[in-house]
Structure 1
């Protein structure tokens, strides 16, 4: 009675095996043909081709290594700063050290996040092989080798926002002092295009690559903090400046939440959504950097936080950040919210983003009373 059933499955498995074998043969055949052609060539032809292939393999090895190894990545980054041990607001004179002021934790974090992006790691988005893509296809449209690039861009988006707020409000007394030149240069450098390599077509010619501009921004941030520590710069810790920072950060989170929502609703293909990973890791990088910058702001605006009793609400927001940063799945899935096989990581990340944004709005409301 079972023989027909057994034969049916045997035929099915044989057919699958033949199909798989044909697929492998189809993929391997061009390489086998090229190998045969290469063997028949003279060494004058073999030599240059061999050198080219060795260089290409080396470049891809370096590229894969850089995309997979995240040097300096630390979800507990905030704890490593020990902001709680600081007792003075940014720019406040140190009582027992004449001529010395408290440097800015926000500026320090902005500098360190940029250092993580371009010194501790290679800036993936402007690497040649990243720009070339996978057989001409943008890496962001594939499920491979783009997670770190998306994370770095999420971090950089927050540093850009921070640089703008430092120039426009935090780094000067609004209406009575000029823009700080170091912060102005830092803003210009960190706003530079994220994808520039040493050579480009639009416009055609040699260029200064993206990491060089970001490294200069680090020097600009550090120069400002050095001047601030010597009481030769200004950091305005008024409540309205903190309100503006909350507004801008909340607005950025709202935009990211909308991007995640649209992707989750329109392309819920589970593990087969090739853009879900870069959406997820951009949002993760944004939260990673915002958590560090806002924790630094809590230290820089210590007097305001104490006077307005913001501690409890701020701690709730920190808990939301910490919860979001614990989500680090090996494979990002954009499944249906009602599904039971494939998870919906985008919706989960969107939930935490909205919780953080809600806390920011609440903090702003308390300050604005």
Structure 2
């Protein structure tokens, strides 16, 4: 009596096996056909093709390596600056050491941080967004629309967003005495270079022709930031560490984070594909990079504006704000999921990151309100 049942299941499995075999044959047929064509050619044809394929494999191996290895990624890197040892705010004259005649001024920790963040992005790591294979995409599909090999690029762009915002504030207010001095040319050069297109390679189509790649501009920005700090140390530049400048700086950062929170909310509310949302990872890692950059920048700002923060009794609130950022940086899931907020199988990492961003932004708004009194 069991024979018909056994025969039925045998037929089912045989059919499944034939289906898998046909699928594999269909999948590999172009490669087998190309291999057959290749083997029938002479070495005059086969040689250049073999060299091209080896170069292509090498390029992809290098590209994959660069996207997966994050050199000097450390959310706590700001601790190495020993900012608590700074006794005067940025731009203030330092007490003369024994035997010194030339006066020295305190350099800016914020400028040090934005220079170092950019240095890590383009000198200690490859700038992924302008690499040729990143620009070509995955068989013509933008890497940002795939679930892999785009996380580091998104993180770098998030960090760069924080640096860009800070560069604007340095030029417009922090690096000049408001109303009585012009724009610092060194900072202006840094801002111009750091605002350059993030995707430029050595050659482009719009406009058509050779180009200077993105990393070259960002390296020039690093040099300009460091040159400004040398000017500041020699007391030939200005860092205006007034309360209203700090208020405006905090306000701009708060607005920038609010925009990112809105992007995360839109993706979280309108796309609930869980682990299959191919844009969730780049949204998440852009936000993470932005928080990574702002955490270090705000930590440095505490040293640069130490006098204002102490006089306004902001130390506890400022430290709590930094703790909010630090808490967000502890979220590093292996796979980013954009599930429903009431789901029970797939988590919702975008909503979680959005929550932490809004909590950090709320602390910044409170800091601003204290400065505005």
Match of 1:119? 123
* 1:88-109 deviation digits (Å, cap 9, x = unpaired): 1001111134411110000000
What is the 5 A alignment of 1:190-269? 190-269=194-273
* 1:41-72 deviation digits (Å, cap 9, x = unpaired): 01100111111111111100110000000001
User: Is the 2:298–2:322 Cα contact (8 Å) retained in structure 1?
Assistant: no
1-side partners of 2:5 and 2:253: how far apart?
A: 62
Q: 1:336 to 1:19 in 2, by over 3 A?
A: farther
2-side partners of 1:222 and 1:197: how far apart?
A: 25
Deviation at 1:121, TM superposition (A): 0.4
Match of 1:168? 172
* 1:272-325 deviation digits (Å, cap 9, x = unpaired): 000000000000000000000011001100000100111111111111111111
Match of 1:71? 71
> Does 2:282 correspond to 1:291?
no
1-side partners of 2:363 and 2:22: how far apart?
A: 57
Deviation at 1:10, TM superposition (A): 6.7
What is the 5 A alignment of 1:1-369? 16-97=16-97, 98-369=102-373
Deviation at 1:13, TM superposition (A): 5.8
Bigger mean CA deviation after superposition, 11-20 or 282-291? 11-20
* Unaligned ranges ≥5, structure 1: none
TM-score, normalised by the number of residues in structure 2: 0.95
Deviation at 1:73, TM superposition (A): 0.5
2-side partners of 1:54 and 1:209: how far apart?
A: 25
* 1:66-92 deviation digits (Å, cap 9, x = unpaired): 000000110212222222222110011
User: Is the 2:91–2:238 Cα contact (8 Å) retained in structure 1?
Assistant: yes
Q: 1:303 to 1:131 in 2, by over 3 A?
A: same
User: Is the 2:275–2:346 Cα contact (8 Å) retained in structure 1?
Assistant: yes
Q: Could you say what secondary structure the match of 1:321 adopts? A: helix
Bigger mean CA deviation after superposition, 72-81 or 7-16? 7-16
Deviation at 1:39, TM superposition (A): 0.7
Deviation at 1:15, TM superposition (A): 5.2
Deviation at 1:6, TM superposition (A): 8.0
2-side partners of 1:8 and 1:251: how far apart?
A: 66
Q: 1:286 to 1:9 in 2, by over 3 A?
A: farther
Q: 1:361 to 1:11 in 2, by over 3 A?
A: farther
Q: Could you say what secondary structure the match of 1:111 adopts? A: helix
Deviation at 1:23, TM superposition (A): 3.1
Deviation at 1:14, TM superposition (A): 5.5
Bigger mean CA deviation after superposition, 13-22 or 353-362? 13-22
Q: Could you say what secondary structure the match of 1:205 adopts? A: strand
Q: 1:35 to 1:83 in 2, by over 3 A?
A: same
Q: 1:41 to 1:305 in 2, by over 3 A?
A: same
Q: Could you say what secondary structure the match of 2:209 adopts? A: strand
Q: How many residues align?
A: 369
* 1:22-44 deviation digits (Å, cap 9, x = unpaired): 33332222111111111110110
Bigger mean CA deviation after superposition, 336-345 or 87-96? 87-96
* Unaligned ranges ≥5, structure 2: none
